[in-house]
Chains A and B, each alone.
Chain A
Amino acid sequence: MQSQLEAVSIIQALVAGGKGLAPSAAPWLNERRALALERANALRLPSIRDEEWRFTDISMMGRVPFQLPVPHSVIPDISAYVLPEAQWRLVFVDGIFNVGLSSLGAPVKGLSISNLGDAIQNTPQLVVGHLAQHAHYENRLFCAINTAWLRQGAFIHLAKEVIIKDPIHILYINTQAHATVNVRSLVVLERAAQCTVVEDFVGLGEEATFTNAVSEFAVASSARLHHVRVQRETPAALHIAACAVSIEQDGVYQSQSIALGASVSRYELEVLQKGPGVEVVIDGLALIKERQLADTHTLMDHAYGSGQCRQLHKTIVDGRAHAVFNGKVLVREGAQLTQSAQQSRNLLLSSDARVDTKPQLEIFADDVKCAHGATVGQLDQDHLFYLKSRGLSEARARNLLTYAFGAEIVARIPVRSLAAQLERAVMTQAQTTL
């Protein structure tokens, strides 16, 4: 109870901090921040007594002396996280945009990449229709706090028909012990634009940090967005994130989300279909051990018909770690010819590892194809036999299959250097080499 009270006081301090922020020059933004602040004041900290948070205990908020990051001039070494494929890179150190570490590449007509704060000032017409318009904060405390605090973040805008082949890398890197960081991404693709965005949440060192991240992705008609999300915060970190994706007619959103780090992490992905005929791929992988908890909540909202969604969420859980998956698929009335499939596959590597997985299908249309399935358990005996019949020992075969289980998701990441880094992480967890 004590920690609960302290957690509340942390939140109140954050909220108060939000109140103290200098108003932005943009009245529309001040208005949105004020509304969010109002909600942040009204909402209570979620606890395991709330159905949506029943497995995700964030009471560490009350035990760790989280505080606002102190301004400092130490420049972290990000070389291990630089993606050679990405000529565009936005780097935020403890939530603050770092222009020196960022790489804005050569200007490309129709492509805007900048700190969100600059975009609000310089190109508000690109921002106003989207910022805080997709991620709903009315009933979500952390999203409300993030919105009330909104001042910096990553902004990417592609004008219609602009196609960017190289990935765009957003690196959020935490360096200070106990830092509380609100980060925000806004990615807008106009009609028929295409790009790949990597959101990379990194923690240096071992100390606890608290990241509260909100991302908004607007995919206009016939646009294609590939979104890769990597959460590799410090082992003591608390990471709470929400991502809202809106897709218009015939738009495509594909994503791989990989959770490796943090003591407690929570990722809420909401994909809203805003027109007929969209295509959505949601892949997830949580690779956790010791006492880590990784919680993924997804919502695929088929508000229009003829949408296709394929979702595969995997977890590899070792030690006393705990993976949580809640996948909701909503097919609204009239959303005919929807095809939505969801699979949750979980591999437990120790007897103390735990998985809670819950598919939630709510279907209000009659001419749809929806499927879901969940497995929690061991490796397939026929797969093991196949490998052993090729000379591999039982242990080697098990480790290879564990690796393959995770690598299937990692292999779908279209950025080779990042996929290779993550493959090594999967190999380490699987205790195998190739």
Chain B
Amino acid sequence: MERSRAWEVMDTDCLSNIFRRLDVDDRVLAIPFVCKSWYHASIDPLCWLLLDLRPLDFMPRSPFALRFTKEYSLQPFAFTFSGFLKLVVHRSQGLASHLMFPLVFGPSLDDLVFSSKKCSSLKTLVLPRLEQEAENQLPELIKHWKDLEELEMESKPSSFLELVAQISVHCDKFSGLKMFGHIRMEDSWALVNSLPKLKCLNLSKSCMSKEELMVMIEGLREMESLIVNECIGFQVDDEVKRRSLSIQNFEYEGCELRVDDAFDTHEFDCLHVFGLWG
């Protein structure tokens, strides 16, 4: 019978189901130019729920930037991260559930404010290290992301305590946090007091002592996964293991008490080692 397949007349729903699995660059640079019906399927907001911008190189003269500039006949050097962000966010029509910013050439304060207003359905947000201005504003923006479940940050922001407080007020479903930095006692207590229902916590490559770790293990009673690989400042001894028995997934590979014997653990500032704070 009709043995002539016709990919251009496939149901739009079928097509957009395929397209939403593609990387963002395929969705922007290839699919819309294939044929009319693919173009129409490609602008279905359901194709744009997942906005993972991490694999893309936003450097001004990167192959991706050049290809985009050529494909869309932009003025030379007109390509910007902000422009691209606007495009993909516009496509999602407010339905985006995952927004993952690239680690290099990440969002300015304006980009963050824009995302908070236009992506109010976000469940997962991945942030690179932010500029000071954006870091300071981050807690203010949290109220726009009421559905937020997971937050991943390249480093612990200086506004961390305020951030946690805002998450506690506005994000009922919040359950997962990933970041690294210097975890102080007040940070541990902030997590325990403000986010007692946290299920997944990943603090790999952080700097903290056993005391700070124990506060979280004891205080976060619903924790299912705790990952503290390659941390500095403690070692997982029998006591830690015993107290953490109720945590289904506890990973602690490569933890070290200290980096250099010349330093006293309590005074030693690991941030210099990681070069986090310049």
**Do chains A and B stick together as partners?**
no
